């Protein structure tokens, strides 16, 4: 268990859907030899699509730290998501053997060059 992070998840009482998730570090972390993160805070807000599927609406990240010992940084980034469209459709009905274009008679197992 990594005790360098704490977080919480907010669930709506009415329909038991995820509303928000956040986490932050509790102590300095070194994700690379030349980088030290003094603060890393991430928050994800969710919305629910018409089919009930929860999806990210916004993701916000705030990071503070030092890179290469002498370069301090303090970055805030928020990305918003909307206009979700379903890409994967329902799988097609099972394909029967008679619909197959390859039959066992059409498969030939030959050595190369014969």
- Give the pLDDT confidence of 40-63 residue by residue, as tens digits: 999 999 999 888 889 999 999 999
Mean pLDDT of the chain: 82
The pLDDT-based confidence of 79 (bands split at 50, 70, 90) is very high
- pLDDT surpasses 60 at 80: yes
Contact by Cβ (8 Å): 64, 39? yes
The pLDDT-based confidence of 101 (bands split at 50, 70, 90) is low
Kindly calculate the radius of gyration of the chain based on its CA atoms and give it in whole angstroms.
25
pLDDT at residue 91, rounded to an integer:
67
pTM beyond 0.95: the answer is: no
CA distances from 94 to 25, 65, 90, 99 (A): 49, 54, 12, 10
48 by Cβ neighbours in 10 Å (0-12 / 13-18 / 19+) ranks as middle
The pLDDT-based confidence of 74 (bands split at 50, 70, 90) is very high
Residue extents of the structural domains in the chain:
5-84
- pLDDT surpasses 50 at 114: no
């Amino acid at each position: 268990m990594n005790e360098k992070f704490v977080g919480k998840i907010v669930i709506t009482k009415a329909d038991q859907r995820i509303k928000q998730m956040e986490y932050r570090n509790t102590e300095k972390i070194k994700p690379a030899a030349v980088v030290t993160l003094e603060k890393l805070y991430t928050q994800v807000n969710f919305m629910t699509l018409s089919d009930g599927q929860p999806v990210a609406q916004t993701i916000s990240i705030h990071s503070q730290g030092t890179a290469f010992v002498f370069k301090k940084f303090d970055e805030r980034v928020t990305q918003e998501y909307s206009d979700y469209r379903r890409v994967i459709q329902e799988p097609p009905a099972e394909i029967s053997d008679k619909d197959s274009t390859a039959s066992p008679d059409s498969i030939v197992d030959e050595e190369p060059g014969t």
